[in-house]
Structure 1
Amino acid sequence: MKNVREYFKPTSIPEAVNLLREYPGKGAFIAGGTNIVVEKDPTLDYLVDVNHLGLNYITEDEHLIHIGAGTTIEQLYASRLVNTLASGLFVQVASWFASRQIRNVATIGGNVAEGLSAADTVPPLMAMDAQIVLVGEIERTLPIMEFFRKEGLTVLNQELVKEFIIPKEFQQARGKFLKNARTREDISIVSVTTVVLMDGGVCRKVRIALGAVAPTPIRIPQAEALLEGQIPTKELIEQAADTVVAQIAPIDNFRAMAQFRKDISHTYTKRALSECCHIVI
């Protein structure tokens, strides 16, 4: 950060995008700054502040909930509308998301745009079939699943994350977020998110998403398929947890060994699915 020479405060999205795309040198967007300031990238020449673009909003229409990329984690935590989704899934996430001081400035857009495997807001977005809106030379909308590249990067190409769109059908869903970390303020060693839409006693839609067990956050459709269209049982949940472990690729690092991450993923998947399906294990 010591080489940053310019700091811009645009007041419109086109102005912000044009600055990133056309100003000489290497630039980056900054909102809460909780990632970029810590990273201290020495190659950055300038920063584009996106806090004055009107992106801190939560709105709804007949079928969708819209969350602006500038919405802070604390605003998600406090929003009655957002927390009608999947048993208050974002309240569960926010309660494990750093300190209140960090939550007051960290934004959902920044958490996602970094493309980090351990980003806590991403698995819940994946588990609720969220779409992400990007603005660059054009504006485009794509499923959150398509935002991440397998090798650990994102599809961002000098673009700004504008908003996230979540279908209201997930207001009828049951959701559970579980996170293993050294403390509530630390980043994830493993996170597991499950969301289940029931139709009578049958699982109509099942989503299982994990963080910190692959180069990017991931969903496990092979495990989801075992439960969809079925009456949930202990045996099916056990099979789904086994399938999750078979599909992830955690690494050894200073936070945890790969085998520990696999064991936690199995345990948390069983626990989260059992709670969503009201099955006692």
Structure 2
Amino acid sequence: MHDLMHDLTKLIAASDGTTFYSKGEDIHEKIRHVSFDRTFLLSSRIPTSLYKANKIRTFLLPSESRYEYAGLDKSTCNAIVSSFKFIRLLDLHKMNIETIPSSIGKLWHLRYLNLSNNPIEMLPNSITRLHNLQTLRLFECPIKQLPKDINKLVNLKYLEMNKCWHLTHMPRGLGQLTKLQTLSKFVMSQNSCLDFRLHGGLKELNGLTKLRGTLKIKGLRHEKEFASKSKNSNMKEKIHLQDLTLSWIEDDVDESNIGYNEESLEALLPHGPLSDLQQLCLNEGFG
């Protein structure tokens, strides 16, 4: 782009959005959309002058692999969440964040939250106050469980949890999120000591008829009585799923019940000529 045209474009967009490359840049209080050059973030500090633009709606921290050691310290993360109440999009992926502040529940306008590739093991339950949240990305986070009141995220459409290997179960109430279109993983609890009032079984999938794309169901059992529980999932109506993976517990097979129970398998498959299913994978093993 010609330098003159670049300057003109930057001038027109100055009051609406900008990308920061250096600490010396001026920040206009009317800025609504902010992104940061990755080299700028090596300091792990957000410029204090940015806080006067307290009506920011987009906060984007793009990631590049060669700067994997960069991140946000706890105080900076807390400051971002506490200072910008009008944020709609918050992208904090690959920022080496271990703890999400409970004050995130005050970002009532938030629609998109990306926490992927962070060493987060637990989300604060206050996150369920984000009633306008539509997208929650937790890709490759060592998260162990989802918030118990997840049913309060009534507008959630995309819940992405690929490579969340430490997830132990799904919370009860997940099935009330009937707007869900993406649910990348559903984990059956393997711990009989867990409080069954707090974790959900396959029946949580019953009303999620808008699911599409990819779904992995892990922790299925070979027991014959599991067939009736499988029917509760109402998978036959998930006709928009394209890629389905079903994983059974490997050591859950004995001589009287070897292999996949045909009735269970049938109950777990989308049916009919309108089904978009293109790929089906059957696995042994919980991982």
Q: TM-score, normalised by structure 2?
A: 0.28
Larger relative CO (CA 8 A, sep 6+): 1 or 2? Answer: 1
| Structure holding more helix per residue | 1
Q: Which has the larger radius of gyration?
A: 2
> More strand per residue: 1 or 2?
1
